[in-house]
Amino acid sequence: MKYTEEHEWLRADGDVYVVGITEHATTQLGDLVFVELPDVGASVSKDDEIVVIESVKAASDIMAPVDGEITEVNTDLADDPSLANSDPLGKGWFFKIKPSDTSQLDGLMDEAAYNALIG
């Protein structure tokens, strides 16, 4: 697993990466009630705001962790945003991305570095 400073996790799945948000993030956000996912096939750039998530109280954005193409999105999550709260590392995944520049992955954190970040 790799992590971003924006509290996303990335898990390799063949030549694509599955992306979600960490338990720390969902705890901070509270109960999610709405998720808007990107279009499958979209080309995105690192730091583009590609997902909108809303908790009962507030809206926030999730940014693309790397440049790449969106290969799949979790439609179950759009139907039931609470999956991100109940199973953030599993059924609560957001999208899969095929990186166009795998060297960008080197700049991401490993689990130890992420745990140090969130204290």
Partner 1 sequence: MSDLRQTPLHALHLSMGAKMVPFAGYDMPVQYGLGVMKEHLHTRAKAGLFDVSHMGQVIVLGNTFAAAARGLEGLIPVDILGLGLNRQRYGFFTNDAGGIDDDLMLANRGDHVFVVVNAACKTADIARMKAALEPAVTVTEITDRALLALQGPASEQVLATLDARAAHMAFMDVATLSLNGVEAWVSRSGYTGEDGYEISVPADAAEALARTLLDHPDVEAIGLGARDSLRLEAGLCLYGHDIDTTTSPVEAGLTWAIQKTRRGGGDRSGGFPGSAKILHQIENGASRKRVGLLPEGRAPMRDSVPLFDAEDSADPIGTITSGGFGPTVGGPVAMGYVATQHATAGTTLYGELRGKRLPLTVTKLPFTPANFKR
Contacting positions for partner 1 (CB under 8 A): 30-31, 33-34, 36, 52, 54-57, 59, 78
If the CB atoms of residues 35 and 66 are measured against partner 1, the closer one turns out to be 35
Long-range contacts at 101-106 (CB < 8 A, ≥ 24 apart):
101/66, 101/67, 101/68, 104/46, 104/65, 104/66, 104/67, 105/2, 105/10, 105/17, 105/66
If the CB atoms of residues 54 and 69 are measured against partner 1, the closer one turns out to be 54
Tokens 């969106």 -> residue? 70
If the CB atoms of residues 28 and 102 are measured against partner 1, the closer one turns out to be 28
